[in-house]
Amino acid sequence: MPLSRRGSGVAPATRALASQVHPVFMLPPVACSLFGGVLAGAFAPLSGALHATAIFAAVYTAHVKDGYVDFHVRGEDDDHPLTERGCKGALAASTALFFACLGGLWLAASPGAALLTLPTWLVAYHHAPQLDTNPVTATTGYPLGIALSILGGYYAQADALGAVPLAFAAVFLVLLSGVKVIDDAQDFEYDRSIDKRTVAVALGPRRARTAAYALMTAALVLVVGFAALAVFPPSSVAAVAGFGAVALAARRADPTLATMLLVRGSYVFLALLLVAVWFRPLA
C-alpha cells in the first residue's frame, strides 16, 4: 500500500511526507528552543541541536496526527496527501526521532532536560483528537509547546531553570494564545458546523477577537513589567513596540490576513527579544 494518496513510488511518498513540514508554524518552536539556549549564556552545540531536533519532531508529529484524525478518522477534511498507512508510518518515524533525541539529551545534557522536553511530544500527539475539542486546550496547545521549547532549550544548556526563561515562557504562552484565537477564527463557520468548540465558536467572533487582543496586550504589559523589574533587559521594550505596531495593523483585518500579520509579527517579536538579550544594546 503506498504512503501517498497521489501515487506510488519514492517521489510521491517523499512529497507527501514533506508536505507535513509547515515552516510558518514549525520555525518558531525550533527558534524558541535555540532562543532558550541563548538565554542560558554558554551554548553547547550538541545539546542545542538535540533539543531543537526533538522540538521539530514533536511539531511534525502534531501536524501528521492532526491531518490523520481530521481526514481519516473524523472525515472533516476534503483531502490529505498521506494514506492512512503513510500517516501511521510518519508518526512512527517522527516519534522514533523524538525519543532518540530525548535519549541523547539524557546523556549529553541531563535527565532533567529530557524530562522537561517530553511534554512537548505529549501535547503534540494528543492535540487531536483529545485536546482540540476544548476551547482552552485547543487554544493553548501550540503556545504551550513554544513555552516548553524555551524552557527545555534553556535547561539543556544550564541544567536548571531561572526567572528569565520562566518569564519569557509566560510571555509567549499568553501572546501566542491570543494569536491562536485569531487563527482559529478563520474556520469559525466550519468549526461551528461540526460542533468544534474553539474560542470563536464558544464566544462568537467579535468577543473572541476582543479576548485575543486582551491576551496579546497582557503579554506586552508583562514584557514592560519584567523590564521594569530588571528580569528582562531594558531594550526588550523595543519588542513591545515592534509587535504592537503589527497588532495595530491587524486590528481591522479579516482573520486570515490578521493571522498572517500576527504570526509574522511574532517572528519580529522573537527577533527583537533575541537582540535585546544577546547584545543588550542599552546595557
Q: Check if 12-160 and 162-283 are the same fold.
A: no
Average pLDDT, the chain: 91
Distance CA 44, CA 250 (A): 39
In sequence order, what are the residues at sequence separation of 6 or more whose Cβ sits closer than 8 angstroms to the Cβ of residue 195? none
Distance CA 153, CA 52 (A): 8
Distance CA 270, CA 65 (A): 27
How does residue 281 score in pLDDT terms, banded at 50, 70 and 90? low
Distance CA 228, CA 230 (A): 5
Q: What is the pLDDT of residues 219-253, one digit of tens each?
A: 999 999 999 999 998 999 999 999 999 999 999 88
**Residue (of 266, 251, 257, 265) closest to 214 by Cα position:** 251
Q: What is the pLDDT of residues 113-141, one digit of tens each?
A: 999 999 999 999 998 888 888 899 989 99
CATH class held by domain 12-160: mainly alpha
- Is 233 within 8 Å of 277 (Cβ atoms)? yes
Distance CA 145, CA 10 (A): 32
Tell me how long the chain is. Answer: 283
- Which of these CATH numbers, 1.10.20, 1.10.3470, 1.20.120, 1.10.150, describes 162-283? 1.20.120
Task: Quote the cell numbers at residue 186.
Answer: 478563520
- Is 217 within 8 Å of 200 (Cβ atoms)? no
pTM for this predicted structure: 0.92
Distance CA 257, CA 239 (A): 21
- Is 243 within 8 Å of 266 (Cβ atoms)? yes
Domain boundaries, the chain: 12-160, 162-283
